[in-house]
Amino acid sequence: MEQQFRTIWTKLNKTKYLCPFWSAIIVGLLTHMPVMVNKFPNSDAMTNFWFDQNMVTSGRWFLGVACGISSFYDLNWIIGILSLLYLGVTAVFLCEVLEVRSNINRGLVAALLVTFPAICATFAYLYTLDGYMIGLMLSVLAVYFAKKSKAGFAIGALCLGFSLGIYQAYLAVTMLLCVFYLIKMCLTNRSIKEMWLQGLKFLGMGVAGGGFYYIMLQICLKLQDKTLDSYQGISEMGKISLPALPGMIVHMIRDFGAFALKGNVLVNNGFSFVVVVLLGVVAISAALFCYLNVGEKRRWGNLLLFPVFLLLLPVATNVILLLSGDAYYHLLMRVQWGLYPIFALCFVDYASGYIKSVEKDFIKTKKGNITSRVVLVISCVAALASAGLSYSFMVTDNIAYFNMNERYERTYAYCLRLLDRMEQTEGYEPGMKVAMIGVVDENTFPNADITFEATSGISGTGGNFLLYKGSQYAAFMAHYMNVTFPVVEGVELVEIYNSDEYRALDTFPGENSMKVVNGILYIKTEAKVEDE
């Protein structure tokens, strides 16, 4: 047993594995430590301090198992540490899939991965974070196994199926990695036959993985006697209408361009704009260099395939919009966008690797000497730009966490005033039912969010207040103020909302914003309801 352990440790204890792993851990801690050691809840977390993660009605039949490793409590530290470990493993296999040679670049790949704002947005939903990070790791492992061996697509299919069973959006990560690897094969002058065979392996892995996911989903739904929910178009996912297909494709392409140019994530300040432009320029230069310098006999047919692969990028990136036109594509579903700056860095890594692989006689020539110097400059610029972009992401993430703390403090102060008024309302008794329309009137209170320009694209971190419905108010007061009360929901709440008594109330903190009616405390926190 000890000898086997030593053998495994010897294989793992290599710089090419340790660089991305420890880079992910260290940079991850530097970036996400605030949310790991503080309680920065968002609105969904209010009702998920304990949650069994049974999301089978949303198609996530494996999420409960993945999250169960850390228990079903919202435990900041252990969930955060486990998630960083999963990200570290993901970074290692991402480098293996992309065949990154330089250890510096491997470390930068990990840094770009863990700091990308979509990871920050997932940290905002910390109660389910570790499960999602397992899903992300499996989506990368699916590609790794599919390209590693002839039969690897079967293991890759299992990885993909389990990944989809955690979060379907990570399908885009798998698809994008597959397309990029084919682009890499094209740039490095691989034969068209090789590319076709690899493409078919990827396709087989995807089809088998999707089939495995669907079969397991149907079994889980049957065992629990449940049906798929309509949320985010889950119940209709995969049921593509041919007449609607052209419109869905147009929407998918428009969303791709809109997020790239106006998403306020990849670029949200002057510094990030400069480093993204630099990274783009050196990546294009390196890609051209790779194609023009690989091998003595250039396969010009590859040049025809290259634009085909480029056209597949928007499809792979926004595949969920193609499968479900009703999906609202928030940032948690856009982790795959973090791969683009990583791809750019990899192009430069390939160019640098080519220089090291050519014969020494070529390097000694005047052309070879100039070429090696140019590639060296490009490599340095790419490394600096990648490090700069990672730092920009890190700052943006911490601004988001700053606002999450501010938002919590504002919500606490607001609820404290609300609770004080409740106890002073005539007829109020502790434990009585409360009817509350939870959206806070933004005109009543000043906008105190000073981070909007930096965090407007990061889901779950923006805004002035945490809460928007009665059950969340009740959970917040129960956990942070030691006050419990039942809330009115459903049809009964709608009837109260449309009643004359409710409409006559002022907006909190108005003097007449609360009233006890038939043993129920009415509270109006939204703007005054006008009769139609």
Q: What is the CA radius of gyration of the chain?
A: 26
How does DSSP assign 109-173, residue by residue? HHHHHHHSHHHHHHHHTGGGHHHHHHHHHHHHHHHHHHHHSTTHHHHHHHHHHHHHHH-GGGHHH
**φ/ψ (deg, to 5) at 459:** -60, 140
**How many C-beta atoms surround the C-beta of residue 470 within 10 A?**
22
Could you give the percent of the chain with pLDDT greater than 90? 48
Residue 499, domain extent: 405-524
Residue 339 and residue 414 in one domain: no
Specify if 316 maps to a domain. yes
Specify if 397 maps to a domain. yes
Residue 278 and residue 348 in one domain: yes
Dihedral angle over CA of 333, 338, 339, 340, nearest 10: 120
Per-residue model confidence (pLDDT) at position 420: 93
H/E run at residue 382: helix 366-424
Q: Which residues of the chain have pLDDT under 50?
A: 359, 532
Query: What token pair was written down for 265?
Result: 């994530």
In whole angstroms, how far apart are CA 2 and each of 5, 8, 12, 178?
Answer: 5, 10, 15, 38
Residue 391 and residue 409 in one domain: no
Residue 46 and residue 172 in one domain: yes
Q: Which of 402, 418, 440 is the last residue of a domain?
A: 402
Q: Are 99 and 19 in contact (CB under 8 A)?
A: no
Residue 489 and residue 384 in one domain: no
Q: Are 139 and 170 in contact (CB under 8 A)?
A: yes
Q: Are 248 and 333 in contact (CB under 8 A)?
A: no
Specify if 11 maps to a domain. no
Residue 311 and residue 188 in one domain: yes
Residue 338 and residue 442 in one domain: no
Specify if 5 maps to a domain. no
Per-residue model confidence (pLDDT) at position 255: 87
Specify if 4 maps to a domain. no
Per-residue model confidence (pLDDT) at position 167: 93
Per-residue model confidence (pLDDT) at position 360: 54
Q: Which of 336, 367, 402 is the last residue of a domain?
A: 402
Residue 136 and residue 246 in one domain: yes
Query: What token pair was written down for 348?
Result: 């430069």
Residue 239 and residue 259 in one domain: yes
Q: Which of 359, 376, 402 is the last residue of a domain?
A: 402
Residue 443 and residue 476 in one domain: yes
Query: What token pair was written down for 98?
Result: 């992309």
Sign of the alpha-carbon dihedral angle for 287, 196, 98, 361:
negative
Number of domains in the chain: 2
Eight-class DSSP state of 430? T
Residue 177 and residue 138 in one domain: yes
Burial label for 516, CB within 10 Å (0-12, 13-18, 19+), is middle
Specify if 309 maps to a domain. yes
**CA 27 and chain centroid, separation:** 17
In whole angstroms, how far apart are CA 278 and each of 136, 263, 271, 282, 285?
Answer: 28, 19, 11, 6, 11
Per-residue model confidence (pLDDT) at position 532: 46
Per-residue model confidence (pLDDT) at position 351: 81
Specify if 8 maps to a domain. no
What is the distance between the alpha carbons of residues 188 and 108, in angstroms, rounded to a whole number? 22
Residue 398 and residue 417 in one domain: no
Specify if 531 maps to a domain. no
